[in-house]
Amino acid sequence: MAIAGDANLRCFPQPNPVDAVRWLPTVSSLRRFAAVAVHDPDSSSSAIEVHALNPGPNLLLRSSHAIPSRISALRFSPTPQKPLLAAAATSAGSLHLLSIDPLEGSIDSELSVGDIGFSTGAVADVDGQAEGREWVSVGEDGRVNLVVVGDGRLEWRRVFDSKGLVEYSAVRWASPAEFATGGLGFGLQWWDQRKPGGAVAHFKGNWARGNTVGMVHSIDIHPSRKHICVAGASSGTVFAWDLRWQHRPLLLSGVSTGDTVQPASESEVWEVRYDSHIQPSSVGTGPTRILPVMMCSEDGILAVLQQGEEPVELLAEPCAINGFDIDPQNPSDVICALEWEMIGILPRSKETSTAS
Amino acid sequence: MPGRASDPGNSLVPFSPEVRDPVVYPIRHGIKTPLFRVFVSWSHGNLLNVACLQASPPESNAAAGTAESEVNIGGKVVEVRLGDGDGEINEAQRRRIAYGSVPAFAMLQSRRNSLSMMSRMASSSFRNEWWRHVLEYSNQIKDLLGTPRLPSSSVIEDPKMVLQQIEEPTSLKVAWELMEIFYVDKQSSAWLPERLVDWLADYDCILAKTEPAIYSKLVNLQKKIVNIQVIEDDPEYWDGISSALAVGWLDVVVKLLRLHGSYQLDQLGNRETENGLVEAVAVLVSTMPRMRADVPTGKLGQCYKTKPDFVKAWEKWRGHITKLECSAFWVQCGHRQTREGLRNLLQIMLGNIKNLTTSTCHWMELYISHFLFIRPFSMGLEGMYSLAQKCMQLKPSSNSSGLIGVFMGILGGNTEVVLAECSKAFGPWMVAHAMELLMATDDHADILLHEERYNLGGISMEELYRLIYAQVLSSHPLTWQIAPTYLASCSKQGLGLLEVLLYRQSAHNYRVTLKNLEICRLYELENISECIMKIAGVYYWKHGRRGSGIHWLQQAHDEVRLNRIAQQLFDCIGKSISDDSFKQWEGLVELLGSEVGTAGGLEFLHKYRDFKRSLHLVHDKKAVDAARQTVESLVQLMRSPSTPRRFWLPLLHDSVHLLNWQGRPLLNVSETTLLLSKLQELSMAKLHPDFSDFDLPPQALATVRLALAKNLRQAILEES
Amino acid sequence: MERVVATLEKGAQCCGWSHGGRRLAVGHADGAVSVHDSSDPSTRASARWMAHTCGVINVVWIPPEFGDAIACVCADGALSLWDEIGQDAQAVTWKMCKFFEGTGSQVLDVQFGVSLTTLRMVAAYSDGHVKVYESMDPLELNKWQLQAEFQNVIDSVSRFGKPSCVSASIAWSPCRGENQQSSFVLGYNSDLSQFNSPKIWEFEEAHQRWVPVAELALPGDKGDRVHAVAWALNIGRPYEVVAVATCKGIAIWHVGLNPESDGRLSTEKVALLAGHDGEVWQLDWDMSGMTLASTGADGMVRLWQSNLNGVWHEQAALECNGVQH
């Protein structure tokens, strides 16, 4: 266990545990904000907070908005706009859409949906289309719902209900009509709204060895390669699934029979993101090559993975890193949620942007 | 009360260290007494659930004069967290300290393990090395307890700013530092008195909160000097200087002296002698010989690392003081306050006990002043102890804080008292972490804390205190995850408690469950991880999340339950079920997979489904082809290793009418023999306890056997 | 130090916490049962239903490997088992999965233990009989088989009169190991002295029967009515610890791990703790087996510990009967 984390990591202790962190998509380069999902187990209260990041650096709480139950996922619509739209999914099965002023960092309004028809279990993940008008949510109850911002309220329709046979823990849009979901057994599903009735493609990884449940926790899809999704899962597994070669997943980290890629971690990979800060190494750049991916894990690792290369470890913390986000406008800056009630901000220098 | 212990030994904390009248905490539940019943249940760690149920009042009274809402209340359930420690540090801070001490503690343990592995031959070399590691550990912990005091960084100093306002240290930090001074830092043991002088600088701020102390005196003076014109006329000025000098805050003394009016340019001319005296004293103060490694920037005095050098310088310095004391210039000094004030300072520097006593407020200050001006050398603990007692008599203090208890325990050389006082004043965190300090250089403490005691269930005190701390950590959902680090360092009962702790975690949130499984993986607790997955699997299965249920049970290798699930699926086959249920069924068959050992995997269920379907086609006695096909799939099923043995009899029983086929036998000799041997195996296995019957008629086995025998006879005839 | 986690309705008369202490089941005088989740900040019950037509006097949770399920003992001596079930991810409900009618004698206490992978239930009846049932299904709790029936007496040959028992206390040995013998301790509060003293019963695989391996009473105290028993978790002690409450106080017993030559376990009474003014209602050990909590008719919760020298004493007390504001 490392005695202390990276010297560059700035830690900001919080009075309560941090469940998720996101950079606000910025509209002005002068103001930077981070949205944080917090939970107080003593009072069983949860909230979304917006913190301003000032030079120093320090974090200053700008606004806080109570959410009735613990937040399981927090996402922004990717387009910087005014107001910004963020969706928070909760473990009680509700979805909350917040509009946030990108200049003031204030949370202005909320729409929510949470009836029993919508969900009977925790909503595990949510993802929004570019403008934030349309969101897809998946849950532990095996329901996939499409949520659309209607006239002053949220409207939703059921895309699929597995009736408890399959559970979903991650979701990500690939295109206006397609999205990918993930769940148990290193499972990934590809959905096309134009083809209703179920997923159009399935994948189940066979890396499960010993006592691992092989759960996919996070998916990312790069806008330039919409046919590939990368997934972070149990046992330090990060893999890419290419729709064109559905039976040949590419392991970026983890252990499988036959083909072992040095795992960056051995425990749950909580989140994966394409890392736009790192320029992929010149060798073999092509449409088939997987772009650099950042991951964080239960054993405190934050690392960048590149196909066919050793993982580059950015952090090795003594506690779990439960989630992170790369600033879309300043991709050198990473914000992460640390298990020990801290927010960490890791600025990366320009030199690290080209992987060796 | 009878039965209460009379033995005054140390107790198991975390509530209090010694046997005495139990502390009684009132529980504020807000319901009317008398109570009908009180129920309790321990949750995690020291968390106690208490339910207070109200005795139901007679119906007539209930309605009269009570609010509707109160009438309907029958009881309250409260959660009580015991042994929480003191209020000096709030919850969030306490958790931060708990988190921060994990890496330091883990590192020290792993160092101990690797060092003791290497130096098993020479334990003396282990000792010589060890304290350095403990010192590093101690420094890491100290950083957590508060930011270190830094010398002023501003270039232009305000001359009137004599006292640096510092972040107030916590008594926890001060106590920690005290133990480090006495138990760990071997290197500076020769400079112990000077380390205590430094220590007092921190401690005095804390003392000042409850009692008169020099620190508060100086804070008041600081406020005053900004507004005073002729400072040297003010008795408080001289009082402050002498107090600061008595406890060795030389920089404060010199700064204050330089504020003396005689330094002002317009005064220099007519107060030359006076100024000369002030300056002479200031120089003497700032050149005071000190036996220590170095003097931090901004602090004054001249360092001497070895005793002979120091003694030489000390004698010389005292000579200078005596000379100044006898100087004729005093007569020429017209300002009475200055004359008296300065001579008082000289007396302090000469170690005049009377002057020291009047200049100090608290006995601890007086005690420290002894080390500066009377006995500047290290002495044995016994000597220090009796000196402390003497000082206490000279300046009795009404308030005896836990810290003083720790201090006296250290001087008394009694490890148990130190631990008990630490526990009482600072709680289980302190005890669990400070033990490392106590054992760093003290062999006696090492033996005492490592001795296994039958009364404690065969564990040592070290393990006990770690278990107690782990219990405290377990009491909170945010800190229980760091308890394993401490439990892993407990060789006898640590893993036992860890198993209980993990077993008691709720399985309702998969993220939490995965975090628990990660702990199981780290500590190789495979039994518990299977148990956790089993609990999760059953929970999901029963709560309608069948996919997850099967998945978790598979990971738990829970063949008993998977068999049962397979059996439930098995029961569905052949029955007329709706399309929706059939889809559900197929989905479950899919999920069950084919890898689950004997649990009746995919292959079997698919084959079985085909078999059942074709069996349905054989209703017509003339459908020979269909019958033949069905028998073929029956034989295949019976041959297949993926067919669980428990299904053999139902399979055969289902096919009895095929075995009894009118006309030519459907099975040849070898096939019949195979089925008979399977049947034989089955009847032997029936003795086995885990053999479980389906809802078959009791004579099923006999019927099948009879049919097979008949078939065999026919087949032999046919083939011969 | 304390916080209110649930408010109970009028008529609440018994409480049982789930294994991890996160869920609470409450039995009511009108036969209703409610379940409260402490993770839920609202103090309302998460479920409430009518379990019996007369008052519920005891609720006991079933080990978590068998789901979230409870047993309810009813004032008329009937016993019902309830299982929390959700179909196809629909909202969960509590369903009755088994009903044991109170025929002749009443069920006084019931406790569950797991041996190997089998769930066992011990029920103590008002006529001094003890019945051990085994669950026949690892997933559902609807099929039970009577595995053994005996009286809580050491001498099984002699004939005793029929006792009339007011209450019974059972505690399973909390060890959970694959090769652990399954055993429990049982004591009665009855008018027939032979039945009262707590006996440790152990299942003898070889002969498929339950045998008493220890009696937790000194010769002069055997007839003392037992109000409560509690078996401490053993995380590595070389002996087991069992607490027994009688009218004389709370006795702490050390019980040997392995049988002596006569097949009995060695026992030693290490402390007798008196503090409760009146009857002791309940005993509970913490998860390390180091602290014992007791409740009694004096409205106090008392916490007991042993010190470094093995001397037991009252460490702290919680006053529940105080003046309330």
pLDDT, one tens digit per residue, over B425-480 is 898 999 999 999 999 888 888 899 999 988 888 899 999 999 999 999 999 889 99
* C323, pLDDT greater than 70: no
Q: In this complex, which chains have at least 3 CB pairs below 8 Å with chain B?
A: A, C
Nearest by CB to B99, which of A208, A215, A319? A319
Domain layout of chain C by residue ranges = 1-102, 108-325
Chain C residue at shortest CA distance from A165: C88
Rounded mean pLDDT, C40-57: 79
Structure tokens at A180: 């990918």
Give domain C108-325's CATH architecture.
7 Propeller (2.130)
> CA A190, CA A203: separation in Å to the nearest integer?
9
Q: Distance between CA atoms of B449 and B437, rounded to whole angstroms?
A: 12
Nearest-CA distance from A265 to chain B in Å? 12
Show the tokens assigned to B146: 């508060």
Q: How far is C120 from chain A (nearest CA, A)?
A: 28
Q: Do B140 and A3 touch (CB under 8 A)?
A: yes
Amino acid, res. A182: G
State residue C259's pLDDT score. Answer: 86
pLDDT above 60 for A352: no
Question: Of all helices (H) and strands (E), which one includes residue C225?
Answer: none
| CA-wise closest residue to B577 among B609, B606, B549 | B609
d(CA B411, CA B407): 6
Q: What is the number of H-type helices and E-type strands within chain C?
A: 1, 25
Whether residue A120 and residue C91 make contact (CB cut-off 8 A), yes or no, is: yes
Chosen from C88, C90, C92, C93 to mutate, greatest number of chain A CBs within 10 A: C88
Residue C61 burial (CB count, 10 A): 20
Q: What is the mean pLDDT of residues C104-124?
A: 90
Contact flag B584-A163 (C-beta cutoff 8 Å) = yes
For residues A157 and A174, the answer to whether their CB atoms sit within 8 Å is: no
User: What is the rounded CA–CA span in Å between residue C253 and residue C272?
Assistant: 9
pTM of the model: 0.88
Chain C residues in contact with A43 (beta carbon < 8 A): 41
The SS3 of residue B374 is: helix
- Residues B478-499: what's their mean pLDDT? 93
Contact between A267 and B518 using a beta-carbon 8 Å cutoff: yes
Residue that has been written with the tokens 């962190």 in this structure? A21
User: Which overall architecture, per CATH, does domain C1-102 show?
Assistant: Beta Barrel (2.40)
B599 — pLDDT class (breaks 50, 70, 90) = very low
Q: Which of B95, B509, B530 sits opposite A211 (nearest CB)?
A: B530
Q: How confident is the model at residue B601 (pLDDT cuts 50, 70, 90)?
A: low
Which residues, other chains included, contact A176 with Cβ-Cβ below 8 Å and sequence gap of 6+?
Answer: A129
How many other CB atoms sit within 10 Å of the CB of residue B652? Answer: 25
Contacts of A206 in chain B (CB under 8 A): none
pLDDT band at residue B708, thresholds of 50, 70 and 90? confident
% of chain A with per-residue pLDDT over 90 = 56
pLDDT on residue C44: 65
Residues A151-189: tens digit of each pLDDT: 888 999 999 998 888 899 999 999 999 999 999 889 999
Q: What is the phi/psi pair of residue C131, to 5°? A: -120, 135
Question: DSSP string spanning C87-149?
Answer: STTPPPEEEEEEEE---SSPEEEEEEEEETTEEEEEEEETTSEEEEEEES-SS-S--EEEEEE
B387-403 pLDDT, tens digit per residue, is 999 999 999 887 777 88
Percent of chain C residues past pLDDT 90, beyond the cut: 63
Which chains does chain A touch, 3 or more C-beta pairs < 8 A? Answer: B, C
The closest of C221, C180, C214, C218 to C200, measured between CA atoms, is: C214
The C-alpha atoms of residue C32 and residue C10 are separated, in whole angstroms, by 11
pLDDT tens digits along B48-69: 999 999 887 655 444 444 555 5
Residue-level pLDDT at B1:
37
Statement: residue B691 has pLDDT above 70: no
Instruction: Sort out which chain A residues have CB atoms less than 8 A from C89's CB and list them.
Output: 120-121, 141-143, 163-164
Distance from CA of A164 to the nearest CA of B (A): 4
> Cα dist. B560→B112, B231, B366, B538, C113 in Å?
44, 90, 75, 12, 17
Q: Which residue of chain B comes nearest to C284, CA vs CA?
A: B41
Report the alpha-carbon distance of residue C114 to residue B134 in Å, rounded. 46
- Residue C285 pLDDT level (bands cut at 50, 70, 90): very high
**Interface contact flag, C65 B501, Cβ < 8 Å:** no
Predicted confidence at residue B148, as pLDDT, reads 59
In this prediction, what percent of chain B has a pLDDT beyond 90? 34
Q: Do A167 and B547 lie within an 8 Å CB cutoff?
A: yes
Which candidate, C165, C203, C218, places its Cα nearest to that of C187? C165
CB contact under 8 A, B515 and A162: no
More confident residue, B531 or C45: B531
The residue of B37, B467, B472, B495 whose CB has the most chain C CBs within 10 angstroms, and thus the best one to mutate to test that interface, is B37
Q: Nearest residue of C to residue A41 by CA position?
A: C39
Contact B91 A42 (CB under 8 A): yes
CA distance B84 to chain A (A): 15
Asked if B543 lies within 8 A of C5 by C-beta distance, the reply is: no
pLDDT band at C90 (very low <50, low <70, confident <90, very high): low
d(CA B658, CA B653): 10
Chain A residues with beta carbon closer than 8 angstroms to that of B548: 140, 164, 167, 184
Smallest CA–CA separation between B527 and chain A, in Å? 10
Domains of chain A and CATH, by start: 1-16+175-356 (2.130.10.10), 32-166 (2.130.10.10)
Q: Comparing A20-29, A212-221, B149-158, B607-616, which segment has the lowest mean pLDDT?
A: B149-158
How far apart (Å, rounded) are the C-alpha atoms in residues B433 and A45? 33
On whether the CB atoms of residues A33 and B135 are closer than 8 A, the answer is no
3-state secondary structure of B207: helix
C-alpha dist (Å) from residue C30 to C12, C59, C61, C74, C75: 9, 14, 20, 10, 10
DSSP 3-state of B257: helix
Query: Rounded to whole angstroms, how far apart are CA atoms A303 and A185?
Result: 23
Chain B: closest CA distance from residue A204 (Å) = 11
Contact with chain A for residue C238, Cβ under 8 A:
no
Backbone angle region of B478, left / alpha / beta, with phi > 0 → left and psi within -120 to 50 → alpha: alpha
What is the sign, positive or negative, of the torsion defined by CA atoms of B638, B639, B640, B644?
positive
Question: How high is the pLDDT of residue C188?
Answer: 95
Containing A51, the helix (H) or strand (E) segment is strand A45-54
Interface of C with A in 80-99 (CB under 8 A): 86, 88-91
Maximum Cα–Cα distance across chain C? 60
d(CA A123, CA A92) in angstroms, rounded, equals 7
Chains with 3+ CB–CB pairs under 8 A to C are: A, B
Retrieve residue C86's tokens: 């959700």
Partners of C3 on chain A (C-beta within 8 Å) are: 42
Chain A residues with CB-CB distance to B99 below 8 A: 319, 340-341
| Residue of A19, A125, A163, A270 to mutate for B, most B C-beta atoms under 10 A | A163
CA–CA dist C87, C135 (Å, integer) = 22
pLDDT class of B12 with cuts at 50, 70, 90: very low
Of C16, C65, C238, Cβ closest to residue B458: C238
pLDDT at B433: 96
- Quote ipTM for the complex: 0.95
For B467, which of C271, C272, C288 is closest by C-beta distance? C288
Look at C89 and A120 and tell me if their CB atoms are within 8 Å. Answer: yes
Distance CA A107, CA A101 (A): 6
Contact A318 B518 (CB under 8 A): no
**Cα A240 to Cα A290: distance, rounded to the nearest angstrom:** 8
For residue B26, the model assigns a pLDDT of 85
Integer CA distances (angstroms), A267 to A234, B99, B221, B358, B520, in order: 6, 20, 59, 65, 11
DSSP per-residue codes, B81-136 = E-----SSS-HHHHHHHHHHHHHHHHHHHHHHHHHHHHTSS-HHHHHHHHHHHHHH
pLDDT in the model for residue C79: 94
Token pair for residue A57?
């650096």
Question: Which of A38, A119, A213 would best serve as a mutation to test chain B binding (most B beta carbons within 10 A)?
Answer: A213
C5/B102: higher pLDDT: B102
Q: Please list every residue in chain C whose beta carbon sits closer than 8 Å to the beta carbon of residue A121.
A: 89
**Cα dihedral A255→A256→A259→A263 (10° resolution):** -10
CB contact under 8 A, A142 and B514: no
* Residue in C40, C89, C91 nearest the CB of A164: C89
**Contact between residue C33 and residue C71 where contact means Cβ atoms under 8 Å apart:** no
Q: Which amino acid is at C72?
A: C
Interface of A with B (CB under 8 A): 1-4, 13, 15-17, 41-42, 91, 121-122, 140-142, 162-167, 169, 184-185, 208, 211-213, 215, 234, 266-268, 298-299, 318-320, 339-341
CB B213 within 8 A of CB B326: no
**What's A244's DSSP letter?**
G
Structure tokens that stand for B214 in this block: 């020099």
How much is the average pLDDT of B269-289? 89
Residues facing C28 on adjacent strands: C12
A44–C89 C-beta distance less than 8 A:
no
Taking residue A286's Cβ as centre, other Cβ atoms within 10 Å add up to 6
Instruction: Supply φ then ψ for residue C275, to 5 degrees.
Output: -165, -35
pLDDT of res. A16: 92
Q: What is residue B694's DSSP assignment?
A: -
The Cα of B601 is separated from the nearest Cα of chain A by a number of Å equal to: 16
Q: What is the pLDDT of residues B84-117, one digit of tens each?
A: 655 678 888 899 999 999 999 999 999 988 887 7
Instruction: Check whether B231 has a pLDDT greater than 80.
Output: yes
Encode pLDDT of A308-326 as tens digits.
Answer: 888 999 999 999 999 999 9
Q: For the stretch B329-368, what's the b/e string if a residue is b when 16 or more beta carbons lie within 10 angstroms of its beta carbon?
A: ebeebebeebbebbbbbbbbbebbeebbbbbbbbbbbbbb
Of the candidates C248, C300, C309, C298, the one whose C-alpha atom is nearest the C-alpha of residue C273 is: C248
Chain A interface test: which of C37, C38, C39 (most A C-beta within 10 Å) = C39
**Nearest by CB: C301 against B23, B40, B527:** B40
Q: Which of A1, A15, A91 lies at the smallest CB-CB distance from B92? A: A15
Alpha helices in chain C (DSSP H): 193-196
- Among B12, B466, B509, B531, the residue to mutate for chain C (most C Cβ within 10 A): B12
